[in-house]
Amino acid sequence: MPSGQTHDRITIWSLPMVTGVTLVSTRSSNVTLLVAGGFMFGGFMFGPDLDIYSRQFQRWGFLRWIWLPYQKSLRHRSFLSHGPIIGTTLRVVYLTTFLAVVAILVLVVFAKLGNVAFNWGDVWRIVGRTISIYYGEFFALFVGFELGAMSHSLSDWTNSAYKRFQKQGIQGLLNHGKIKKRKPIRGVKAVRKPRGTQR
C-alpha cells in the first residue's frame, strides 16, 4: 500500500487533470471550483483511510475524535470504506448526521438561553429549499469527494496488484480472489462409513 506522502502527491499531480476535464465538460467555473475543491478535500482529509489512524485522520486535528466510531465500525480496506461510491456516500452521511446533530443541539441551547421559540417546521423547510436550489452544487462537491477518494483507492489496488505480479507473475493477478482449497491435515485419515449405514 502506498504511503500517505505518496497519496498526497497523487492528489496534487491529478488536480490539474481533474480541473481541466471538469472545466471542458461543464464550461462552468463555479462547478469546476467545487469539483476541484471536493477533490482536494477528498484526497487530503475525506478519503478511505479515515478508517485507520492515517494521515487523513490526523489532519482533522482536535476534531479527529468524531471519526473514532467510524473506525471501530469498519474493517480497514473494506468495501464500505474503500468501495466506489458507497465509501464516499457513507462518509458523507456519517459527517452530515454528526453536523446535523450538533446544529440541532446548538439551536436548542440558543433557544433555551435566549428564550427564543423556534419553529422547527420552518427550519426543515429552509433546509429542504436550500437542498433543492443548490442540488447541482452539492452533486458537484460529491463528485469531487468521490474522485479524491477513488484516486486513493485506485493507487492502493494498483500497488497491491503490482506487488502480486512481482511475486507470482500473471498468475498472481488471475488467481486473486479465488478461494484456496484446504489442504488435508497430515496424520489424520478420513473415516469412511460402512455401506448401508445411514444417519
Asked whether residue 66 carries a pLDDT value surpassing 90, the answer given is yes
The predicted-structure confidence for 77-93, as pLDDT tens digits, reads as follows 788 888 889 999 999 99
| Cβ proximity of 146 and 89 under 8 Å | no
Residue 191: which residues within 8 A CB-CB, separation 6 or more? none
The predicted structure's pLDDT at residue 130:
92
**Nearest CA to 159 among 70, 85, 82?**
82
Q: pTM value? A: 0.75
55 vs 53: CA distance, rounded Å: 7
The predicted-structure confidence for 23-63, as pLDDT tens digits, reads as follows 999 999 999 999 999 999 999 999 888 989 989 999 999 99
DSSP state, residue 83: S
